[in-house]
């Protein structure tokens, strides 16, 4: 019960890593308010959890929607102890592709803007909505979802890598600015994790991916949830401003 009597807000909590994190936090004693854009999954999951936990359909890129949700969480529970900025999307495409001297394909402005809006601005929106409440109560833990793509780059992910690298920078700034109010801010950088997207790959492709990390396997959503849990808990009380990889020991270029 490492999160007993804590109120946790988790974005993108209806599926994948987010859902595993909600489940883990509930098991550890937290009261959880989570959001997602998938209303069907979110509502069903909320029914499974039951009271006192709650779900709200929310687009983290929509600043006014985020503020209304966070305000309502404080009205309902009286405080917010933990913010997990987990929500994120991908819209992969090559930066530019040229054939016979002619440009034939490139990442669109819409693909770039959408990923930045959700992955980077969404984290900004949620944290700026929550931070004043944490400052007022004099404590809090914020954990942001970066990625190994934000640290090492990844083919076809200019938008995603830029957004996740930005999160590393914001994490360091917020750790400095909010530390005086006893608020810790950290980030995690997952590598290949067995989500629905990977499960939909052909078996041979999935097997090839398993051989890339030195540990020779793909990580699980539960393992990522465990890292979120540690950084959110008092066990990590002197850790702030860090981005911790969870990638099976992957080294760029190997």
Which are the catalytic amino acids?
Answer: 160
Q: What DSSP string describes 115-169?
A: HIIIIIIHHHHHHHHHHHHHHHHT-EEEEEE--HHHHH--TTBHHHHHHHHHHHH
Distance, in Å, from the CA atom of 245 to the CA atom of 65, rounded to the nearest integer, reads 31
Distance, in Å, from the CA atom of 182 to the CA atom of 176, rounded to the nearest integer, reads 11
Tell me, what DSSP letter sits at residue 211?
Answer: T
Distance, in Å, from the CA atom of 86 to the CA atom of 126, rounded to the nearest integer, reads 11
| Residues 55, 139, 65, 120, Cα dihedral to 10° | -100
Q: Can you count the helices (H) and strands (E) in the chain? A: 10, 9
């Amino acid at each position: 019960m490492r999160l007993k009597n804590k109120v946790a807000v988790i974005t993108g909590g209806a599926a994948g890593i987010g859902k595993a994190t909600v489940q883990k936090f509930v098991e550890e004693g937290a009261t959880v308010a989570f959001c997602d854009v998938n209303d069907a999954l979110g509502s069903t999951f909320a029914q499974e959890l039951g009271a006192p936990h709650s779900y709200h359909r929310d687009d983290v890129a929509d600043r006014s929607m985020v503020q209304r949700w966070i305000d309502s969480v404080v009205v309902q529970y009286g405080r917010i102890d933990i913010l997990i900025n987990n929500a994120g999307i991908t819209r992969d495409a090559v930066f530019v592709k040229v054939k016979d001297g002619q440009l034939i394909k490139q990442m669109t402005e819409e693909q770039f803007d959408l990923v930045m809006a959700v992955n980077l601005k969404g984290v900004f929106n949620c944290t700026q909505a929550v931070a004043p409440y944490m400052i007022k109560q004099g404590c809090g833990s914020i954990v942001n979802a970066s990625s190994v793509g934000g640290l090492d780059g990844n083919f076809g992910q200019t938008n995603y890598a830029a957004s996740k690298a930005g999160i590393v920078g914001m994490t360091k700034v917020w750790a400095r600015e909010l530390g005086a109010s006893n608020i810790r801010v950290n980030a995690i950088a997952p590598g290949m994790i067995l989500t629905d997207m990977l499960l939909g790959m052909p078996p041979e492709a999935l097997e090839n991916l398993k051989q890339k990390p030195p540990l020779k396997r793909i990580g699980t959503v539960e393992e990522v949830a465990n890292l979120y849990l540690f950084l959110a808990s008092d066990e990590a009380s002197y850790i702030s401003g860090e981005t911790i990889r969870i990638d099976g020991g992957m080294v760029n270029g190997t």
